Amino acid sequence: MLATNISHALGLHMHQPPGNLALLIEANPWEAEQIIRCYERPTRYARQYADLGHLHIGFSGILLEQFLDPDIVDRYRHIIDIPAMLDAYRGTPNIEPIGMGYFHPIFPLIPEADWAEQLRTGRELMAEVFGRAPRGFWPPEMAFSMELIPALMRAGYEYVVVDGVHVHPEDGVSDVFRPYLACYNDACITVVPRDRDVSNAQESGLDASWFAHEVTHRCRFSPRPDEPRLCTTWSDGENGGWFRQTHEGSGFFGHYFAPYMEHVRGGEYPIRPVSLSQYLAAHPASARARVQTGAWNVGSTSGFDLSQWAGSPGQRRGVETVRELSRRWWALQDAGGASAEHLDRARRLILEAETSCYLFWGDDWLPKLALLTDAAAALIDAMEAAPAAIDRPAHQAPPAVSKPQPRPRSRPETEAAPVQADEAKAPAQTMAATAGAAGPEPPASAEVASKTGTQPDREAAAPPDAKPAAKAAPKAGVKGAEKAGGATGKTKPERGS
């Protein structure tokens, strides 16, 4: 066995906007099949290399909610058995679950009062589905700020993965190959820097030989080459032809991951796959760092600000509308007297409106965001005017729900004890979507026209002999559309700090 001081933590991020799996199977069945198979592959390959392989997989709560929907299970049954897939994740200990927030929000942009519920419900659902609660957190779109640290600690998280370009060590020496402690208001959490350059290659196409050469070269010329080196790579796990390739030998798992594992098994590979939880237990962070507010690089943006989601006046108005609705909702909740049912409806709409996808495409999806915020505003207006007198007449139809086509996407608190699997609340009781529960109809002007046309992948499938440049920019991909529906939520929310 070749001696090495280089460890590798490999992570994949999985997310679909609300209602998107249903839209995909309706609008583009072939694309739906490509995507759903991306969720099934990790368990097969992790089990094949159970003696040495490690994967970190993060699922948004809203994607897991769709997996648990009987209608989705039935509509995808001819492709994969979704319940069996989820059982496989439960029974694969070398896949470490990673939390990310229920509705995949941009945490620095949503109200802090909503942080706790997004964190708690997302972590509870992962504990229920996978049989163990995640110890690590992956911020949606890697959008992180130091203010989030106390909320993460209260939610039970032990470490957080952030984009390495935003990590500023106290000693002034930038070193992406070691973990750090980051502290805010006396709360400290372990920060694991993501290697942006190698992650870009993971996203678009690489092979085991190139990976070994690139990482060993980078570690050799890092500030502390003789210390334990931790290379952390993270990318979407279902975007682009590289991941969606149905000929598995030409895609991520067949062309890169399986040969990588075979090289490790042979004993001469200079890198060792690791679980982050196990690595951090053996090599706890001691050096301190500050993390600059920012995100990962997506589309044409660098990630050094949040302009992808709040760069235009329309996006900023959308963010402020959600913030104001949340403030009004909390005022009603604190005052008491409003209908619990209607508070629950409005709550679901507000939290769903915090999904990052509604802001991602500039102003294009703002009308979809308006469907949610207009419905929430109508409920809140009525509760503020007459809290006990807003029941919809029996003859009134539920609000119309638009059915937009999937959309191309570009890529590259209250004290809470750690959640145990048997303590998690069932999602069907807490967050499941209920038809017609969105409250009063949104104005007609908020209706969204369906989009048509083809949906290009993030990139074409990488050829077997591809050797990408480490600094390659992310390519085009698809995350799809959403449904603008409401739901009842039965769990009382906690206000974030």
d(CA 325, CA 380): 8
pLDDT digits (tens, 9 = 90+) for 390-434: 444 433 433 433 333 444 333 333 334 444 444 433 333 333 333
Q: What value does the mean pLDDT take over residues 365-380?
A: 96
- With a CB cutoff of 8 Å and minimum separation 6, the contacts of 141 are 106, 295, 296, 298, 308, 309, 356
Would you say 251 and 30 are in contact if contact means Cβ atoms under 8 Å apart? no
CA atoms within 13 A of residue 419's CA, in its CB half-sphere: 28
pLDDT in the model for residue 497:
55
pLDDT in the model for residue 473:
31
Q: What value does the mean pLDDT take over residues 123-147?
A: 97
pLDDT in the model for residue 367:
95
d(CA 260, CA 19): 36
Q: What value does the mean pLDDT take over residues 465-486?
A: 34
Residue 27 binned pLDDT confidence (cut-offs 50, 70, 90): very high
pLDDT digits (tens, 9 = 90+) for 321-333: 999 999 999 999 9
d(CA 253, CA 37): 12
pLDDT digits (tens, 9 = 90+) for 62-113: 999 999 999 999 999 999 999 999 999 999 999 999 999 999 999 999 999 9
Q: Which amino acid is at 61?
A: G
Q: What value does the mean pLDDT take over residues 138-167?
A: 97
Task: Delineate the domains of the chain, giving CATH numbers in brackets.
Answer: 6-305+453-475 (3.20.110.20)
d(CA 88, CA 48): 12
d(CA 293, CA 145): 5
Would you say 410 and 459 are in contact if contact means Cβ atoms under 8 Å apart? no
Nearest by Cα to 360 from 114, 104, 112, 11: 104
